[in-house]
A and B are shown apart, each in its own frame.
Chain A
Amino acid sequence: MPQEVATPEEDRQQEDQRLLALAQAGDMSAFEALVEAHRDKVFGLALRMTRSEADAAEIAQDTFLAAYQHLKEFRGDAAFGSWVHRIAANHALMRLRHRRVVQAAEDELKGPEFTERGSLADYPERDWSRDAEGKALDAELGLAIQQATDRLPEGYREVFLLKDVEGLSYEQISELTGDSVPAIKSRLHRARLALREAIDQFYNQGSARV
């Protein structure tokens, strides 16, 4: 009979549980091990959201300090990683709310164009979805995606990052942002369409160059 092997994710969660119990009992080195295991994810979220390394570093500090201060209240009914992730998302959103930046207009969101009858105006020249699987990401494509993400209007960028990059649920995003789930879904769809369009352009320009 094949033996069931724990996934790296399950291993991580078990190790987190063990470290958490030690940290809750006052073992500082166990808490530092938790920080080390999750700092990249927390920092990455904060940097993607705020686009500022200085802000992201401060959010990581605030997040782990808040986690430490509430460690004894954390019962472990969710994974430690998800918990700190949500704390970080909350801190990042609060910081963005305090920033008044020039917003990209919603009508700048590009999506597919349709004919009057509702057919796709431009047919995709090629299906690049398989190219996207399993191989190292082209640096130029990575840059094109970063730029396209940066061009999204703030509310769309936030929802896309929180759902598709950070993996939060619609309900968690709704709780954090105060927006309704249908509004979140609508923005996410438009953000995905705009990003799909940017990637499609990248691939089509690439094939035009060859």
Chain B
Amino acid sequence: MYTCKDSINLLMDYLDGEMTPEDAQHLKEHLQGCAPCVDFLRTYRATPGLCKRALAKSMPQELSSKLTEFLRSKIKSAS
């Protein structure tokens, strides 16, 4: 019988769809009897999306203008 630790170590392979059938069966059995690990799985799965939203950045207008100027000057001098 897999423990919580064994199951949590498998979560990435599970989400990537890369588990062996044997591991998949053990994980399924563990999750059926362990509500905390089901919550853990849900929150583990939600983590990357939340982080992606929290870390979104746009280029400030001033730097965008500088980028355009830089590229124009470099490309002009090369041609």
Contact = CB atoms under 8 A, between A and B. Distances in A.
Contact of B44 (A28, A137, A196): A196
Nearest to B45: A129
Interface residues of B, number: 41
Given A35-B68, A35-B71, A57-B67, A137 B50 contact: yes
Q: What class of interface size applies to chain A in its complex with B?
A: 35 or more
A165 to B, nearest CB: 5
B11 interface: yes
A43 B71 contact: no
Given A40-B58, A185-B12, A192-B44, 16 more contacts: A36-B64, A39-B64, A44-B59, A48-B55, A57-B67, A64-B71, A65-B70, A114-B5, A129-B39, A130-B42, A146-B55, A149-B51, A189-B12, A192-B48, A199-B47, A199-B50
Please provide the 4 A-B residue pairs with the shortest distance between their CB atoms, ordered closest to farther.
A118-B3, A164-B48, A145-B54, A129-B46
Interface of B: 3-6, 8-9, 11-12, 36-37, 39-40, 42-60, 63-64, 66-68, 70-72, 74-75
